[in-house]
Amino acid sequence: MAFKPSPLKSSFVAASIIGFLLSVFWLPGADERWNVKFDSQTWSFAFGIVFFLMFVAGVISMLKAPPESQVREYFAPKKESFESKKKRR
């Protein structure tokens, strides 16, 4: 089966960039700032991986996926020509 990437919205890539930056720069010291007991470095690393993978998926989508107009045309209902309707009768 061939690999067919689907087109993703640009907001997906923007969310991945913002999420990655927040999880790498802001989250590691959150346990001290908020005075809560959780390992913020572990969570920061996990969220960083997730958002990085989202970014990679967005880049693959930008490079390899067909434009959305082509996808809409592919899945749109086919219009019958007048001659084919005439032959059915």
Query: CA–CA separation, 79 vs 49, rounded Å?
Result: 46
49 within some domain: yes
Which DSSP string do the residues of 51-89 spell out, in sequence order? HHHHHHHHHHHHHHSPPHHHHHHHHSPPPPPHHHHHHH-
Number of domains in the chain: 1
- Structural domain contains residue 22: yes
**Domain that residue 79 falls in:** 10-88
Residue 3 belongs to a domain:
no
Average pLDDT over every residue of 30-46: 82
Mean pLDDT of 26-38: 79
Average pLDDT over residues 57-80: 77
| pLDDT at residue 76 greater than cutoff 80 | no
| 1 within domain boundaries | no
How far apart, in whole angstroms, are the C-alpha atoms of residue 31 and residue 36?
5
